[in-house]
């Protein structure tokens, strides 16, 4: 892991070192914002500490899918939620626990 001022140009130009599987660059401006660089992909992440003290990370999006400015803004928003007492891990688990329409339809058919 390397500390680096992440910019749009840096994210565009950086390549994974040939002797490593991946390299993570953490932003010096936005706490927790990072870029994971692999040989075939680049991904924006937010690294943070959960309320129970364990380290966690949340994928913001792929470099090709999310513009740098949008990813940085999203990292700031998520960081604000954490500072204000939000629990991103619990919110994500609750979203994943929501029943889908397909599951509901199957339950209806089975009943």
* Strands laid side by side in the 2-4 sheet: 2-4, 22-27, 33-38, 42-49, 55-62
**Considering the chain, what percentage of its residues have pLDDT values greater than 70?**
97
Q: What's the predicted TM-score (pTM) here? A: 0.76
pLDDT, tens only, 59-89: 999 999 999 999 999 999 999 888 887 777 7
Q: Which of 24, 27, 83 is nearest to 51 (CA)?
A: 83
Hey, is 70 helix, strand or coil?
Answer: helix
How sure is the predictor about 33, in pLDDT bands with cuts at 50, 70 and 90?
very high
């Amino acid at each position: 892991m390397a500390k680096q001022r992440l910019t749009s140009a840096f994210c565009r130009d950086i390549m994974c070192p040939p002797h490593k599987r991946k390299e993570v660059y953490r932003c010096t401006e936005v706490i927790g914002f990072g870029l994971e660089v692999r040989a075939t992909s680049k991904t924006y992440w937010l690294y943070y500490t959960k309320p129970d003290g364990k380290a966690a990370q949340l994928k913001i999006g792929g470099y090709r899918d999310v513009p740098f400015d949008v990813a940085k803004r999203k990292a700031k928003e998520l960081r604000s939620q954490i500072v204000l007492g939000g629990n991103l891990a619990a919110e994500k688990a609750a979203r994943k626990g929501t029943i889908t329409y397909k599951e509901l339809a199957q339950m209806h058919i089975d009943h």
